[in-house]
């Protein structure tokens, strides 16, 4: 068994799972199978308005006849979401797509296939979180670059220096104060906007697109 697969299976032991399904034969069968896998499971019906904070994985029945909401995940409370589907029609399929579920279990529920569905769903959720982290870092980098470019233009206008000199001034300040260039740039922008609001300086400069340092 590959280390990655082994780790995924080992992580299931102690996983905090909430099964949102009527406490009928199938619901109990799902709970029993998840317990045999090693998960920490509890059942709940009807669906709660809020998913408990100590839950990391949710199995929920998706029904067209109910107004219950399939809870979306968030960065503050990342969940692995597995939809339980009784039958397929346009309404169910739309709700399934809207849920952004990481996996699907079809009814009638059987013990066979639950482990595979759970492993694949948690693996997909982990992959999604890594992508979200990379996207957030990229957005932060782009914002920092825009702030530095805007701060450079502010210094050029105020100090009558070249863009290169303004950039070097920000870099030197960042080194001396042990801050990032983006933090120094944000301070310059905030100070310029505050003084502009007080009428001490002209209104804040509009940063042009592009950067003189991208050559």
pLDDT of residue 151: 92
Are 7 and 113 contained in the same domain?
Answer: yes
Within-domain flag for 205? no
pLDDT of residue 139: 92
pLDDT of residue 75: 54
Are 22 and 115 contained in the same domain?
Answer: yes
Are 21 and 75 contained in the same domain?
Answer: yes
Report the alpha-carbon angle 72-76-77, nearest 5. Answer: 50
Residue 174 dihedral angles phi and psi, to the nearest 5° = -65, -40
Q: Which residues of the chain have pLDDT under 70?
A: 1-6, 8, 64-77, 197-215
Are 83 and 14 contained in the same domain?
Answer: yes
pLDDT of residue 210: 43
Are 99 and 150 contained in the same domain?
Answer: no
- Structural domains in the chain (count): 2
Which pLDDT tens digit goes with each residue over 173-184? 999 989 999 999
- The boundaries of the domain holding residue 159 are 138-197
Within-domain flag for 203? no
């Amino acid at each position: 068994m590959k280390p990655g697969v082994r780790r995924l299976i080992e992580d299931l032991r102690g996983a905090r799972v909430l099964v949102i399904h009527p406490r009928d034969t199938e619901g109990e069968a799902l709970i029993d199978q998840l317990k045999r896998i090693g998960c920490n499971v509890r059942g709940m019906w009807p669906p709660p308005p809020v998913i408990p904070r100590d839950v990391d994985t949710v199995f929920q029945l998706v029904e067209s006849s109910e107004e219950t909401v399939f809870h979306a995940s968030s960065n503050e409370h990342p969940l692995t979401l597995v939809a339980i589907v009784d039958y397929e029609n346009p309404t169910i399929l739309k709700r399934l797509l809207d849920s952004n579920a990481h996996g699907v279990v079809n009814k009638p529920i059987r013990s066979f296939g639950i482990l595979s569905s759970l492993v694949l769903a948690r693996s997909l959720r982990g992959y999604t979180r890594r992508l979200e982290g990379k996207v957030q870092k990229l957005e932060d980098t782009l914002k920092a670059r825009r702030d530095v470019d805007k701060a450079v233009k502010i210094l050029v206008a105020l100090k009558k220096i070249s863009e290169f000199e303004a950039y070097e001034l920000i870099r030197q300040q960042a080194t001396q104060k042990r801050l990032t260039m983006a933090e120094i740039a944000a301070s310059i922008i905030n100070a310029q906007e505050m003084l502009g609001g007080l009428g001490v300086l002209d209104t804040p400069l509009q940063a042009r697109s592009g950067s003189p340092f991208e050559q």
